Amino acid sequence: MTQVNRDLSWRRSEPPISTNEIPSWDDTELPHLRSLTIPGLCFTRGIAVASLKTLVLSDGPRTGSHDIFLSALERCSRSLESLTLHRWVHPDPVTDALASRITPVVPLPNLRRLEIELQYNDGDMPPPTSLFAGLSLSPSVAIHIDWSCNPENTRELLRNHLSELHFDSVSLHLSGPPKTVSVHCFIGDTELLSVRAHPTLRDPLGHKAQSLVTKFLEDHRYATATQLAVDLDVFSQDGCTSLVQDDALRRFVDAFPNLRRLDLLGKTIGRAKLAMAKAFLDLPHPAAYHPTTQGTGNFKTLGYVFEVSEQQKAQNPIGFVDVLRAQLDALEALLADSAAAGSSRLHRLELCVVYTSLSQPHPPTETYPYVYDVSASTELTAFESPLPVFSAMFPSGFTNLLPLALSFAPFAALWGDAVTVQLDQATVYGTTNGSVTSYLGIPFAEPPVGDLRLRLPKPIESYNGMIDATQVGPRCFQLLPPLRTDMPAELLQDVVAALTALSPVETQPESEDCLNLNVVVPAGTPAGANLPVLAFIFAGGFSWGSNTQFDGEAIVVQKSIDMGQPIIFAAVNYRLHAFGFLGGKEVKDAGVANLGLHDR
């Protein structure tokens, strides 16, 4: 086997290594080579063995060698699962000749993670369009881009890839020092795109970091998102003016027309949080919103962190009370003005009190950062005892807006018509509409994904933490039957009307993680009431439908109350078509036939 005798590491100040010195490996020589870390200019087709799964390249490629890089990548493309490019520069100067030719495209069907650190300081250097144009990525790949330079329009560079994705959650993280802005985009619980930039330089037109942050926010507006979190993690006043801009953040929130949840975390800097909260309240309800419909996920939730800094505590051990009161006054005024102006009403307001020390910013979380997931502050709870009645901190008119319940740890919730029940060690939050209480989207089995895909349902052993049962959960993947167009027009009209009436909630998302149930009870039903239970299993030919197909709230439970014979209504989801009723001898022999029947 060819041996590499020369150190392949290099610095740009040193003469580049000649590609003639790089070995050439046959697939039979290294059949089990899974991971390779090497400078980018040394990565050639000769060493890109087909067995590679993890590839880490740095400082490359050099001018004129982008085609060499793509050719090498093509050799190991079928097996590659992770690709990391450190300190990557623009692969080729863009000339008329280069722009006019067709960039070869390398398919990466099994790639699960793409991490790129882009670095260039030449003001005339264009963004690396040919790099992204040469990669064909699957929708499931997680892309992480770090602009170690002034950021370019990432959405434009990844236009073809992002056009296939519809993010439902977005998190924005502003931190400093050093000044950093990052955005994290999720589908379900999976982060599929993160982009980080360090806007400290001037761009070629002389714009300052402040305008670069504004441009970054404009580049990352995703209209499909229903959840948005903004974390103001700035620990230096010097970094506030260029990073935290009230107007830019307000416009950022305003660009998410389908928002149903906004989480505002981190430090309280001026009126930035209030500006974003106002933009959220001013947004109209999503198009699918109906004022008479409860628990369909179209109501608005605002999560809001009240922050007390270490400096304030040092000046006065209990002076944080005045700080919190001022923040509550401002939020009360905002809610009151919003209500007076006829803006959309909040369904739930979640409040959290945190204590921030003057330390370095924290890294963004790997999941969407809900306010109710913020850890308890042990430093702050130590000062809870001097407050005989914490609710006295609230302005007298605050509780007229919504019912109030607030505590220090770990989070506080201000609920509109909220009720709770205990399920094992978990607190389940539901909603009450008149005389009916609904608990929606409660998981009853482990998510049937990964190793549990096409397996018998696995019960949840124990419930812990908090379960938000105020919104319907996702439905299982649907396969709607085609309509026969040769039937008489009147019959076709009746069939369409029947299918429409039986259709699930139109905005209900689809997911493999769909094993959830809805429970509707008469409001105030005590434990041990032993009411009859009506279990509803939806129809749909084992290929479509969901637990929202039948209105158990109005048609069943409310009617039973009116008749003086109250009952409980429960409706479950179950896996459909190929996920729940896969056929074949192999399926039968494996004991995994009719999984949808096992689900219910």
**CA 288 – CA 472 distance, rounded (Å):** 14
CA atoms of 410 and 473, how far apart (whole Å)? 25
Complete DSSP assignment for 277-296:
HHHHHHSPPPTT--TT--SS
More confident residue, 99 or 567: 567
Tokens standing for residue 322: 């005045």
Euclidean distance between CA atoms 540 and 548, whole angstroms: 13
Mean pLDDT of 438-456: 91
Read off the pLDDT of residues 55-74 as tens digits, 9 standing for 90 and up.
999 887 765 677 888 888 99
Answer with the residue of higher pLDDT: 497 or 260.
260
The letter for the amino acid at 113 is R
State pLDDT tens for residues 149-198.
666 677 777 877 787 788 999 999 988 777 888 999 999 889 999 999 88
Distance CA 182, CA 151 (A): 11
pLDDT of residue 16: 45
- Average pLDDT, integer, range 348-353: 76
More reliable by pLDDT, 5 or 76: 76
Give percent of the chain above pLDDT 90: 22
pLDDT for 560 equals: 92
Q: What are phi and psi of 373, to 5 degrees?
A: -95, 0
Which residue did the predictor score with more confidence, 72 or 307? 72
With H, G, I as helix, E, B as strand and everything else as coil, classify residue 319: coil
- Which SS3 state, helix, strand or coil, does residue 71 take? helix
User: Residue 43 pLDDT more than 90?
Assistant: no
State the pLDDT at residue 90: 57
Contact 333, 395 (CB under 8 A): no
pLDDT category at 411 given cuts 50, 70, 90 is very low
Instruction: Please give the pLDDT value at position 279.
Output: 93
414: in domain: no
DSSP state of 393: G
Percent of the chain with pLDDT over 70: 70
Report which DSSP code applies to 415: E
Cα distances (angstroms) measured from residue 425 to each of 188, 245, 504, 520, 526: 24, 42, 31, 21, 18
Is 513 among the domain residues?
yes
| Position 372 in a domain | no
DSSP label at residue 371:
G
Rounded to an integer, the average pLDDT of 259-278 is: 90
Residues spanned by the domain of 569: 420-599
Please, what is the average pLDDT of the chain? 75
Give yes or no for residue 391 having a pLDDT over 90. no
Q: Token match 């037109």: residue?
A: 205
User: For 229-238, what is the mean pLDDT?
Assistant: 77
Higher pLDDT among residues 380 and 454, named by residue: 454
pLDDT at 25: 80
Question: In this predicted structure, what is the pLDDT of residue 360?
Answer: 59
Burial of 477 (0-12, 13-18, 19+ CB in 10 A): middle
Number of alpha carbons in the 13 Å side-chain half-sphere of residue 169: 18
Distance of CA 523 to the CA centre of its chain: 33
Domain count, the chain: 1
> Domain containing 444 — which CATH number?
3.40.50.1820
**pLDDT digit string (tens) for 422-446?**
888 888 888 888 789 999 999 999 9
Whether 376 shows a pLDDT value over 70: the answer reads: no
Assign 297 a pLDDT band (cuts: 50, 70, 90): very low
Instruction: Work out the pLDDT band at 397, boundaries 50, 70, 90.
Output: very low
| Of residues 574, 547, 510, 447, the one with CA closest to residue 187 | 510
Q: Decide which of 203 and 542 is more confident.
A: 542
Q: How far is residue 137's CA from residue 114's CA, in Å, rounded to a whole number?
A: 9
Of 71-80, 383-392, 441-450, where does mean pLDDT reach its minimum? Answer: 383-392
Report how far residue 191's alpha carbon sits from residue 168's, in angstroms, rounded to the nearest whole number: 10
CB count within 10 Å of CB 274 equals: 19
Model confidence at 48, in pLDDT bands (50, 70, 90)? confident
Output the pLDDT for position 264.
93
Q: Which of 48-62, 323-337, 406-420, 559-573 has the lowest mean pLDDT?
A: 406-420
Domain-embedded: residue 447: yes
Give CA–CA dist 563/577, Å, rounded. Answer: 39
Query: Does residue 409 surpass a pLDDT of 50?
Result: no
Give the range with max mean pLDDT: 27-41, 68-82, 355-369, 405-419: 68-82
In a domain? residue 61: no
Please give the pLDDT value at position 410. Answer: 31
Nearest to 474 by CA among 438, 502, 512: 512
pLDDT at position 62, please? 61
Residue-wise pLDDT for 487-513, tens only, equals: 787 777 777 666 665 554 455 678 888
Q: Please say if the pLDDT value at position 396 is more than 50.
A: no
Residue 543 lies in a domain: yes
Q: Give me the pLDDT at residue 295, please.
A: 35
Give pLDDT, residue 172: 94
Note the pLDDT of residue 171: 95
Residues 290, 502: Cα–Cα separation, whole Å: 18
> Residue holding tokens 């063995």?
49
Task: Report yes or no on 9 lying in a domain.
Answer: no
Mean per-residue pLDDT, 570-588: 89
pLDDT of 52 higher than 80: yes
Asked whether residue 541 is assigned to any structural domain, the reply reads yes
